[in-house]
Structure 1
Amino acid sequence: MSHGTGCAACHLPFQKGRLQAHTFARPADNRCLSCHYGNYVGSDYHGRSEHDYHWEYRTPYAPTGYGPRPYGIEYRDLTPDIHQQRGLVCIACHQDSGHNAKPSVRCASCHDWRPGQPVPPVRTLKADGGLLVLTSRADGRVHPVPPLQHPAHREFGRTVACQVCHAQWGSNDSTTHLLLTHTEDFDPWEELTVQGSSEVESLLSHNLYSDDPERPAAMRDGLTGEVRPGVWLQGFTQRRFEQLLVRRDTDGVIKVFRPILDLRLSLVDADDNPLVDNLTGADNGLRPYTPHTTGPAGLFYRDRFQHLLER
């Protein structure tokens, strides 16, 4: 466990499963990452992209085995979001508590700000000489906030989402295969014991390598905490980050998408009989999202969405 529950999940420090202090504090990014790790929004802000689950891909290798894995499994160090590089922590924009709360500010709140308008509600922002300036919480450096100047913002500002041009990379795990198995034969999963779940990893490692009696094929329900028969195992057809998936959303705006609901569900009983095999959803599983990998748009930004303008 890398975090507590309730208020302690964000406001009390945990390390190696132990509470480090009883003093409540403003959440730092490591508290956010204790939940928002993996190939999702959160870890991408810090430039982290998970490796494949197979043990041959979980580099770098260390002389004593694999290195520490405080956030799921090993990850690639890609380019962090430019805002993270400038010292913005997660709660700079996500100030309200609760996962249903919308961000306090959006891209245009700061970058389309004009003198005379209220300063966006970011604690380290202030107006200075007709510009917004940001003081980094990381090192105290002061950064002028660049205003929108490129003519593309006027041309496409209402029809193309910011990250279509400015995202440097995005998480595309496709297809996600989920298997609920009641069998206790875990030998086929020996090379995939690390799946970002400490509970699954502990069960597989114990039953595959320990001389003690095997544990039953059961795990906790993530919503109720009740232990239920069966173990959820996971794998992917491929894990990629290089190419952004750009589509037109139902509201007409061109956005970045990810195949987060491109799922295949299967169920195997205790006798290894498949009761459900590769059940799919009603569509391709693509859903719009906002990659937190912001950077310069680049010279060929239109190439990402030009094909959608011609339709």
Structure 2
Amino acid sequence: MAKTLILILLSLLLCSFSAGASCRRCHRLELDRNHSFPCTRCHAGNPKGKTAEEAHRGLVLRPAHPRNWRKACGPCHAKEIRILIRASHYTLAPAVNAVLSAFGLPRVRSLLEIPAPKSITTRADLVYDLLRRRCLKCHLFYPGEDYPEARRGTGCAACHLPYAGGKLADHRFQKPSSRNCLHCHYGNRIGWDYYGFFAHDLPYAFRTPLVEGEFPARPWGIEFHEMTPDVHARKGLTCVDCHGRAELMEGKPGKSCLACHRKVKGRRPFHTERVLARVRCIACHAVWMARDEGLYLTLYENPDWDEWQELFVQQDAEIEAQFREFFRGKTPKGIMTDRLTGKPRRGVWFLTLERRRFERVTLGRDREGRVSPVRPVLDLHLSYVNAADEVVVEDWHPAGSVERPVSPHTVGPGDTLRSLEILKRLGLLP
């Protein structure tokens, strides 16, 4: 009888192992109702393995990654994947093409079409290398910078699984939280400003004040001033309350201000039909805006770490890690990784800023000719110093205007003086 009972228990144990329950003996996690099925269905592995090593054989660590998602997510979410791969959150085409066009280079349909130079032989190579190794840190193929709040999942998991402190916090798929959004939208980009964050300048002296003799925490890799958050953030609205599935995944237009604020339409003098047709709401209602002017990016194939040590906080975890080696008396490798392929290559991109300010809301025009906040999104200055310390390219920057319309997420009460000045310029005041 005892032997029979033992055999039954062993049989149940093996069945539970094959059902994925054994995974959760080590990996303490909960699954949401829609994904409550064996772990091996997405992560593969060996369900009959009797040791951790055997069970992990053939494991797919990131099944939601774009390289794996058709097999793991596709059987249930084929339509979503088919739609997403055309959306800008996947292709990043608008951002990439803005830079390529500014430097006179051909446009691409997706970041995956950006050439990958093995060495810098032309000016075009310099731009492609900048994009692949310094700029494109926020895309669905990459798990983010090695900072606590910049780490995230890849593919579907980037938006739908919560990460905190650099680790997966929960295995329950969910509607994207604002924390998910801020894993990418940080560092004087739209998103950080929504919660009132404005990045400190890079030089050592600007990174004060100290807190009990120590620099403040840098969960995104750079300290920040705490400014006035957007009124919608203060009321508890998250990013996806305005930027929903249709906009983020399907590339359709997002909600307009007037979709919610219908009652203001027609009010004199600032909300008449004539004014609303010629002025974006944010032109009057932005309380502050981040302006980074003069971004000087220099590629050094043989970096002088001593010369740059006052600027070791470069908003780049890979560069900062090499500075830490230098401070310990070691010689850094002087490499940076291609964020698309994961392959390292010689050379380090250093960043300096001419000016970083938040006080002034600068106005210009958007594509429809409406008055809009603008900032120097393309105020890029590229240089290249080769391994022999020869300056091959010096201060190459786009011709023409570098200002582009933006939507500072710093909404508050309208600035009356700014609003009146706008109406005067447009001839809408008597």
Residue identity (%): 38
Give the Cα–Cα distance (whole angstroms) in 1 for the partners of residues 223 and 192 of structure 2.
Answer: 12
Does the CA-based 8 Å contact 1:268-1:275 persist in structure 2? Answer: yes
Deviation at 1:252, TM superposition (A): 1.9
How many angstroms does 1:57 deviate by? 1.0
- Retained in 1: the 8 A contact 2:231–2:412? yes
More strand by share: 1
**1: CA distance, partners of 2:298 / 2:419:** 40
The normalised TM-score by structure 1 is: 0.82
1:112 alignment partner in structure 2: 262
Structure 2 CA distance for aligned equivalents of residues 70 and 307 of structure 1: 44
Q: Deviations over 1:99-125 (max 9, x none)?
A: 773453110111126xxxxxxxxxxxx
- Go from structure 1 to structure 2 and tell me whether the alpha carbon gap of 1:104 and 1:302 turns closer, same or farther (over 3 Å shift): closer
| CA–CA distance in structure 2, aligned partners of residues 280 and 8 of structure 1 | 37
Q: Which one of the candidate residues 382, 399, 413 is aligned to 1:296?
A: 413
CA distance in 1 between partners of 2:361 and 2:371 (Å): 12
**Could you tell me which residue of structure 2 aligns to residue 270 of structure 1?**
387
Counterpart pick for 1:189 among 295, 308, 311: 308
The verdict on how the C-alpha distance between 1:300 and 1:12 changes in structure 2, with shifts beyond 3 A counting, is: same
CA distance in 2, matches of 1:100, 1:200: 35
**1:240-299 per-position Cα deviation (integer Å, ceiling 9, x unaligned):** 111111013343211110101011000011122111000010113100111111111133
Q: Which amino acid aligns with 2:186?
A: Y
**1:137-156, CA deviations, whole angstroms, 9 ceiling, x for partnerless residues?**
xxxxxxxxx77634311141
For residues 362 and 253 of structure 2, the distance between their equivalents in structure 1, rounded to whole angstroms, comes to 23
Match of 2:251 among 80, 101, 104: 101
TM-score, normalised by the number of residues in structure 2: 0.60
Shift of 1:169: 0.8
Aligned-residue offset at 1:190: 0.8
Instruction: Choose the corresponding residue for 1:8, options 150, 157, 180.
Output: 157
**How many pairs were matched up?**
276
Q: Which residue of 2 aligns with 1:172?
A: 291
- Match 1:284 to one of 370, 384, 401: 401
Q: Which amino acid aligns with 2:283?
A: V
Partner of 1:27: 176
Change (3 A) 1:102 1:86: farther
- Amino acid paired to 2:271: H
Cα separation, 2, equivalents of 1:147 and 1:23: 42
The farther-off stretch of 246-255 and 73-82 is 246-255
Within 1, Cα distance between the matches of 2:292 and 2:303? 27
Distance in 1 between residues matched to 2:234 and 2:298, nearest whole Å: 39
The equivalent residue for 1:216 is 333
Secondary structure of 1:66 counterpart: coil
| Among candidates 84, 91, 98, match of residue 233 of structure 2 | 84
Could you tell me how far 1:204 is from its partner in structure 2?
Answer: 1.9
RMSD, aligned CA: 2.1
Q: Counterpart in 2 of 1:116? A: none
Between the aligned partners of 2:386 and 2:277, the Cα distance in structure 1 is: 51
Residues 182 and 211 (structure 1), Cα distance of their counterparts in 2 relative to 1, 3 Å cut: same
Distance 1:166 1:251, change over 3 A: same
Contact 1:219-1:229 at 8 Å conserved across structures: yes
Code of the residue aligned with 2:314 in structure 1: it is: Q
Q: Partner of 2:278 in structure 1?
A: 159
- Contact preservation (8 Å) 1:184, 1:216: no
2:215 aligns with one of 42, 66, 80 = 66
- Alpha-carbon offset, residue 303 of structure 1: 4.9
| Alpha-carbon distance between aligned partners in 2 of 1:169 and 1:206, rounded to the nearest angstrom | 38
Which letter maps to 1:183? N
Alpha-carbon contact 2:365-2:405 (below 8 Å) kept: no
Alignment deviations for residues 181-238 of structure 1 (CA, whole Å, 9 cap, x no partner): 111311121111112111111112212x1234x2321111233332122111111100
Contact 2:270 2:419 in 1 (8 A): no
The alpha-carbon distance between structure 1 residues 258 and 85, as it changes in their structure 2 partners (threshold 3 A), is same
Residue pair 1:165, 1:304 contacting (<8 A) in 2 also: no
The aligned runs of 1:238-277 (5 Å cut-off) are 238-277=355-394
Would the aligned equivalents of 1:94 and 1:102 in 2 still touch at CA under 8 Å? no
Distance in 2, matches of 1:156 and 1:4, equals 43
- Counterpart mapping for 1:36-75 below 5 A: 36-75=185-224
Amino acid at match of 2:275: F
- Following superposition, the deviation at residue 3 of structure 1 comes to 1.1
Q: Which has the larger radius of gyration?
A: 2
